[in-house]
Amino acid sequence: MSQFSFQLLHGDATTSARRGRFYTPRGVVETPAFMPVGTQGTVKGVEVNQLRRTGAQMILGNTYHLALRPGAEVIRRLGGLHAFSGWEGPILTDSGGFQVFSLASQAKVSDHGVEFRSHIDGRRMEFTPERAIEIQQSLGSDVMMVLDHVVKLPNDRDVIRDASRRTVAWAQRSRDLTIRDDQVLFAIVQGGLDEELRCQCADALVALDFGGYAVGGLSVGEPPEDMYRILDITCPRLPADRPRYLMGVGRPEDLLSAIARGIDLFDCVMPTRNGRNALAFTDEGRLRLRNRRHHDDPRPLEADCPCPACRRSRGYLRHLFAAGEMLGPILLSIHNLTYYQRLLSAAREAIVEDRFDAFRRQKLAGWGLPLSLWP
Amino acid sequence: MSQFSFQLLHGDATTSARRGRFYTPRGVVETPAFMPVGTQGTVKGVEVNQLRRTGAQMILGNTYHLALRPGAEVIRRLGGLHAFSGWEGPILTDSGGFQVFSLASQAKVSDHGVEFRSHIDGRRMEFTPERAIEIQQSLGSDVMMVLDHVVKLPNDRDVIRDASRRTVAWAQRSRDLTIRDDQVLFAIVQGGLDEELRCQCADALVALDFGGYAVGGLSVGEPPEDMYRILDITCPRLPADRPRYLMGVGRPEDLLSAIARGIDLFDCVMPTRNGRNALAFTDEGRLRLRNRRHHDDPRPLEADCPCPACRRSRGYLRHLFAAGEMLGPILLSIHNLTYYQRLLSAAREAIVEDRFDAFRRQKLAGWGLPLSLWP
């Protein structure tokens, strides 16, 4: 009997946004939720105590990276990914599919699985649907993702169709495996920007009855309206009583537009990667902290933000980047993660109060973005 | 009326170690105490909340670095070094003397002061005793250090004598300045490894009646026994009711040997610099975390250490360094700072219980160091 369930609390009256609650053995995740990315067993530069205080409920780990280094067996011997990293809340691990097809070299795919060379040491490796689950079982993540076949976009329709078909076949093989009831399996809808292929893939996966459904292969350079078009046709085909996860997305404006379409879970490196590069998210748009104009600015990034970066001045943060101090990337990563969590928390409130559309418009206006571009 | 005072609580019966209490407007410092180094307005990689939890009571800031970047005036406008950095406890700033003579290029010294070029942008600058205090007044540090003339060792006796004489003359000019009663001025004893010059310098400075006394110009590559010889003759000449500060020292074994000679305050980059380089201090000696033998070691660095690094395994810490993750340097810096603070806390307890000599011998034995080398 699975220890996971998803409770739908409220549907927004103005959009398809959903307020939900994802129950896991390691705690409840209030949705919509944003998962910070801890690629190699740590959210870059952020200690777990700091991470918890940003409001993060659940984090993501990368199966591909962890399998290569230090190796799933080492992590298993060290007590699993939770004990290893010190993060006690729920963890979702991806399947490695995206990285094998983007980071690794010489990826050779067959119906059996995918062979590739490690981008770290060139070592030859193989992921099969079974091996991807076995690795995630060693890691001991709470949510495991099935191995999927991700192709570059744009691409030939036949290539996308073939990858989508293989993704479903791999999902079937994953579904047939025995998994513990303190882990749950999510499937990934593929199909590129082709509405028909997306629908076929979604329907086939739904028939297999997974604990949750991800939409993959988006946010890979396509115009936003293409992503939203795919979400518009995919989300309604997914069961209402399972969490929906949009992988690798994204900018704050993307999150709100996807929430409006019924997405519940997100992950993205954007808050931390941008933080390391001196870019801060605020309700009035983005700030580039390397800019000289901040050098003696006594204001915090945001007056009402409770994060440690906002207990200092912009002048101080600018100084840290100018002086090459590690604390600059650390503080801005923490601020951006806090910004994302506060945004999602406010979004959850807006949904419950049936004013998500107005909320989204107000945020876009604050960021200086036209609604036409983020429909 | 100065808001600073130093209370001698207990003298160890087995050594010259002192247990004291240094009262400052921003809090009490239990001595002997170790001050983490926040060169550029931050202890590298460590957020102030984390820093406080290591047990740090007082930290150090570098006048030279801060004057160059972002500039003392910018820090003053941003509320002073406490508000700037977020550290609310006491701060000691050095005078810049050591850095001018070691880091800056083309330093030209006269009795008036020292001209030099910034090591960052080559800008021509000048420090005089008056300017060094003025900068520290802008920074708003609690303890200000007088400008001193530091020379390389070994050196001609005449050069050392001249620098020592100039240091006293500069201290006299600093003493004549008006300072607020929420800041206090410490003088610095120079004189190289020459006992006679050290005694002359100490006596002259003591006659000027400073709030505290530092021993400078040591730990610059000389054998430990030379440093201890100088402490042996200098400490007894300093007034018992003022804190004694050994600048830039040092290794755990140096701290204990200096405490045994009556030193109260220390600062050193060693815990953080070594932490960034994957070296951890423990009661059983140093661990190099890059070493492959740690890769699946489930033990923490130290079983009884409360720091966040010790809530993980050595295998995890090794992985962070192998993967180039920022969290490796962060966690090891925090562990080493915690190690230093716990060492000093235990030293304070040993002094009060009149067993400091036995304490020191036991620590040296744990570190695998012969007492003969750290007399």
Q: What is the pLDDT of residues A247-303, one digit of tens each?
A: 999 999 999 999 999 999 999 999 999 999 999 999 999 999 999 999 999 999 999
User: Would you state the structure tokens that stand for residue B183, as one six-digit string?
Assistant: 């800041």
Residue A326 forms contact with B (CB below 8 Å): yes
Helix (H, G, I), strand (E, B) or coil at B180: coil
User: Would you state the structure tokens that stand for residue A266, as one six-digit string?
Assistant: 């997100």
Residue A295's alpha-carbon distances to A45, A103, B310, in angstroms, are 24, 38, 37
Q: Which residue numbers in chain A have pLDDT < 70?
A: none
| Alpha carbons within 13 A on the beta-carbon side of B72 | 20
Residue B293 forms contact with A (CB below 8 Å): no
Collect all residues of chain B within an 8 Å Cβ-Cβ radius of residue A319.
40-41, 69-70, 74, 84
**Smallest CA–CA separation between A163 and chain B, in Å?**
31
Mean pLDDT of chain B: 97
Residue A277 forms contact with B (CB below 8 Å): no
Residue A58 is given by DSSP the state: -
Answer yes or no: B181 catalytic.
no
In percent, the amount of chain B with pLDDT more than 90 equals 95
Rounded CA gap, B244 and B246, in Å? 7
Residue type, A338: T
Candidates A319, A325, A330, partner chain B, best to mutate (most B CBs within 10 A): A319
pLDDT class of B276 with cuts at 50, 70, 90:
very high
Q: What is the pLDDT, as a whole number, of residue B203?
A: 98
Residue B83 forms contact with A (CB below 8 Å): yes
Q: What is the pLDDT, as a whole number, of residue A210?
A: 98
Do B334 and B309 touch, CB atoms closer than 8 A?
A: yes
User: Would you state the structure tokens that stand for residue B237, as one six-digit string?
Assistant: 């000449």
Q: What is the pLDDT, as a whole number, of residue B104?
A: 82
Do B26 and B3 touch, CB atoms closer than 8 A?
A: no
Q: Which residues contact B347 (CB under 8 A, 6 or more apart)?
A: B17, B32, B255, B256, B259, B356, B359
Q: Smallest Cα–Cα separation from B146: which of B160, B134, B158?
A: B134
Give the global pTM: 0.97
Bridge partners of B28?
Answer: B23
Helix (H, G, I), strand (E, B) or coil at B135: helix
Q: At what angle do helices A195-207 and A224-234 cross, to 10 degrees?
A: 40
Q: What is the pLDDT, as a whole number, of residue A138?
A: 98
Angle at CA of residue A144, ends A138 and A145, nearest 5°: 125
Chain B: residue whose CA lies nearest to A327: B45
- Verify whether the Cβ–Cβ distance B45 to A70 is below 8 Å: no
Catalytic option among A94, A142, A194, A264 = A94
Residue in the structure block whose two tokens are 């999510």: A186
Helix (H, G, I), strand (E, B) or coil at B177: coil
Provide the total of helices (H) and of strands (E) in chain B, helices listed first.
14, 16
> Is the pLDDT assigned to residue B135 strictly greater than 90?
yes
Answer yes or no: A304 catalytic.
no
Residue A188's alpha-carbon distances to A116, A163, A181, B157, in angstroms, are 21, 12, 20, 77
- Verify whether the Cβ–Cβ distance B330 to A325 is below 8 Å: no
User: Would you state the structure tokens that stand for residue A355, as one six-digit string?
Assistant: 């004013």
- Verify whether the Cβ–Cβ distance A326 to B331 is below 8 Å: no
Collect all residues of chain B within an 8 Å Cβ-Cβ radius of residue A320.
40-42
Collect all residues of chain A within an 8 Å Cβ-Cβ radius of residue B47.
50, 308, 327, 330-331
Rounded CA gap, B220 and B235, in Å? 19
Residue A70 forms contact with B (CB below 8 Å): yes
Collect all residues of chain B within an 8 Å Cβ-Cβ radius of residue A315.
70, 74, 77-78, 84
Residue A79 forms contact with B (CB below 8 Å): yes
